Homo-oligomer: A and B are copies of this chain.
Amino acid sequence: MSGEQTNPVITEQHPDQFLIQKGKLKLSNPHIQPGQEDVLYHIALGNKSHNLQSLFQDIKFVCMGGSPNRMRQFADYLVSELHINLPSGMGLTNIACGSDRYVLYKVGPVLSVSHGMGVPSLSIIFHEIVKLLHHAGCSDVTFFRLGTSGGLGIEPGSLVITEEAVDGLLRPYMEMATLGRLVQYPSRLDPDLARELQKLALTDPECHCHSTYLSKTMCTLDFYEGQARLDGAFCDYQAEDKMTFLKKVHSSGVANIEMESLCFASYCHRAGIRGAVVCVTLLDRLEGDQITTPHNILEEWQQRPQKLVASYIKLCLNGKNFSSKSS
């Protein structure tokens, strides 16, 4: 059987309006009915095996990042920043420890979750976290992705807040094969939330990052050839082809390149969830491919998205929620 027989149909979905769900998080899936068993396989939780409502009903923020260690570190940081009093002799525990695919920590109203690397890995955990929040009866939840990326023409260590994610062909949507057809989902993120985060980064001394950009982010399915690197196991192009492409990407308004924003943005959009992607840049891709910066400096840079998002969450919890009057 060849691909020609499948006759793929492109379905475009480009609503102009960004619709945010108010109140309880509702699933866009009529097949999931109350009372029916739902096993969240990759995090080893379920609506019959666990009391998801009592465990998670108070969640207001979901923070995702690629690395399990970094999301543990973020959870520890939140314990201190949000002044959470852990019961004597208690520590944080990975709630998804029945599986080794992802880690999941709860710190007050915040979930800190790892998503692994790449769109498919993020897709799985996004589906399961949204179902978890639905079963728990959560409302008004905001999602963040805290990531690392390669920058384009900006100083390494800068923060980039994504306005819109584009794919490797610079298209502003995620294309997914569903039932043998290609379907496209727009990948715009909440513009108010992005601006609020930028304003906070530029004004709050705790964020320690005055190089903060609001821009497009390119999301690729591969770290090496997909991002025009010359240092993969395969490379069929020349250094000048790479530079021509990266400059074209840069001039189209893209400030950084990573591997998950397209799915995160399009799923937030589909679910009507307020979402933001905040990434630090680990190098300037117009200057090179390899990440050779010393470990301790990379560590400090990787804390920058964490500091910004933690500051934002603190403001919201203290009642200074920017969302009523956006800048």
Contact A223–B127 (Cβ < 8 Å): yes
A176 contacts B221, C-beta separation under 8 Å: yes
Assembled-state Cα–Cα distance A67/B228 (Å): 28
Contact between chains at B169 and A8 (CB < 8 Å): yes
A1-45 CB contacts (< 8 Å) to partner B: 1-3, 5-6, 8, 27-32, 37-39, 41-42
**Contact A100:B69 (CB < 8 A) given known A31-B231, A121-B116:** yes
Tell me if B182 and A177 are in contact (CB < 8 A).
no
Question: Do A224 and B170 have beta carbons less than 8 Å apart?
Answer: no
Which residues on the B side are within 8 Å of A121 (C-beta)? 116-118, 120-121
| A242: Cβ under 8 A from any B Cβ | yes
Name the interface residues of A52-97: CB closer than 8 Å to any CB of B.
66-70
Cα of A187 to Cα of B258 in the assembled complex, Å: 25
Which residues of B sit under 8 angstroms from A3, Cβ to Cβ?
A: 167, 169-173
| Number of this chain's copies in the complex | 2
Residue of chain B at shortest CB distance from A120: B118
Q: Which chain B residues lie closer than 8 Å to A230 at the CB level? A: 29, 31
Are B100 and A67 in contact, with the CB atoms below 8 A?
yes
The one of B30, B38, B117, B228 in contact with A179, judged by C-beta atoms closer than 8 angstroms, is: B228
A134 sits at the interface (CB 8 A): yes
Within 8 A of B (CB), among A235-256: 235-237, 239, 241-242, 245, 248-249, 252-253
Given A3-B171, A31-B230, A118-B120: 11 more A-B contacts, CB < 8 Å? A5-B170, A27-B233, A31-B231, A70-B100, A116-B121, A120-B226, A121-B121, A123-B221, A127-B232, A128-B233, A176-B221
A–B Cβ pairs within 8 angstroms, 17 of them: A1-B166, A3-B172, A8-B169, A28-B233, A29-B233, A29-B235, A67-B100, A116-B117, A118-B119, A120-B121, A120-B220, A124-B223, A127-B233, A167-B177, A169-B177, A176-B222, A233-B271
